[in-house]
Structures are given as structure tokens and as C-alpha cells.
């Protein structure tokens, strides 16, 4: 009898409308706060840009989520080996190894090369969902950097790479 009353109450619209729930409501997802610099890095690649004098058409962006430090690297081609080499030689060896690396699911970032680097160096690799750029903090920097770079370069596309130092924020 007790179960039949409970079933009736669940199905009765007025009871369901006014009965309070004991369950906690789902809270908003929060971006984790970074406790120290270089704990979490976000990486991205954009391009192709107009070819300059050096032939480098791609921009590899490294962004520290705690300090909002940004570093741009020019690449000739957008393959996984170049991205991984740049990340290790120019970032990890110079600034240190992060705990977490956030990137999109591009072929350069889900490659075996980068996965092996993250495994060996004990870096947690976080891949953002497709069609959701808000999950990767470097995407917000892209929205800011692209127009600024276009204004700075103007019609002199050969000087694109030479102006990257303007955006480096130590």
C-alpha cells in the first residue's frame, strides 16, 4: 500500500509541482583556479598566413593560464613533429614542464608524438570538445591576437613573423 501511494503521488501533477526535492541542484561548472605559473598551458595553432620572406605560414601559440603569458612561434608547416619539437625545445626546456596541457583535438595535438611526450614527462593532456572553443583559454587570445596582428602587419605580409615579439608577454 505504501508503494502504491508513493507511485500515485509521483504521478499526480499537483503533488509533483509543490513537493520539494532533497537533491542538490547542479551547480555551474567553474574553471579551475591555477595556483602557480606554468601549471597549466594551453596551446593552439592558427593559419595559414600569407607567406613571408622566411616561408613560415603557421603560428603556434603557447598560453600560460595562471599568468596569461603568451608566446608565439612561427612554423613553416603545421605537422605534429614541428609542434612537438617547438613545445619541447622552446617552452619546456626554457620555462619548465607543466602539469597540464590543454589543446583542441587537431591532428597535431592528438598525435602519437605529443601523446608520448606527455606520457614520458607525466603531463596530463586535456583535449577540448569539438565546436566548443570556450573550453580552451588560448582561443580567446586568438580572437584578440588575429586582428592586432593584421593591423600591425598591414600590407607588408613578409614582416608578419618579425612582429611576434610585440605580443610576447613575459
pLDDT at 88 over 60: yes
Domains of the chain from N-terminus onward:
40-155 (3.30.420.10)
How does pLDDT run across 103-160, given as a tens digit for each residue? 988 888 899 999 999 999 999 999 888 777 777 888 877 777 777 777 776 666 666 6
Per-residue CA distances from 82 to 34, 46, 58, 103, 154 (Å): 28, 14, 11, 15, 27
Burial 54-67 (b: 16+ CB within 10 A, else e): eebbbbbbbbbbee
Residue 94: other Cβ atoms inside 10 A: 9
CA–CA distance, 153 with 159 (Å, rounded to integer)? 6
Taking all residues of the chain, what is their mean pLDDT, rounded to a whole number?
80
Q: 38-48, pLDDT tens digit by residue?
A: 899 999 988 78
Q: Print burial letters for 20-37: b (CB count within 10 Å at least 16), e (below 16).
A: eeeeeeeeeeeeeebeee
pTM, full prediction: 0.73
The least confident of 50-59, 144-153, 158-167 is 158-167
Q: Are 169 and 68 in contact (CB under 8 A)?
A: yes
d(CA 151, CA 163): 11
Amino acid at each position: 500500500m505504501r508503494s502504491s501511494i508513493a507511485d500515485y503521488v509521483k504521478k499526480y501533477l499537483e503533488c509533483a509541482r509543490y513537493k520539494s526535492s532533497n537533491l542538490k541542484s547542479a551547480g555551474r561548472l567553474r574553471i579551475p583556479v591555477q595556483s602557480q605559473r606554468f601549471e597549466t598551458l594551453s596551446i593552439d595553432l592558427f593559419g595559414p598566413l600569407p607567406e613571408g620572406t622566411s616561408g613560415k605560414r603557421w603560428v603556434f601559440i603557447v598560453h600560460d593560464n595562471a599568468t596569461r603569458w603568451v608566446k608565439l612561434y612561427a612554423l613553416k608547416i603545421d605537422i605534429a613533429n614541428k609542434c612537438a619539437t617547438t613545445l619541447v625545445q622552446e617552452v619546456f626546456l626554457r620555462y619548465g614542464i607543466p602539469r597540464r596541457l590543454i589543446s583542441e583535438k587537431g591532428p597535431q595535438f592528438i598525435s602519437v608524438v605529443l601523446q608520448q611526450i606527455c606520457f614520458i614527462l607525466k603531463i596530463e593532456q586535456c583535449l577540448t570538445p569539438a565546436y566548443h572553443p570556450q573550453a580552451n583559454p588560448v582561443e580567446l587570445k586568438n580572437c584578440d591576437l588575429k586582428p592586432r596582428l593584421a593591423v600591425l602587419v598591414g600590407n607588408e605580409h613578409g614582416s608578419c613573423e618579425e612582429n611576434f615579439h610585440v605580443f610576447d608577454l613575459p
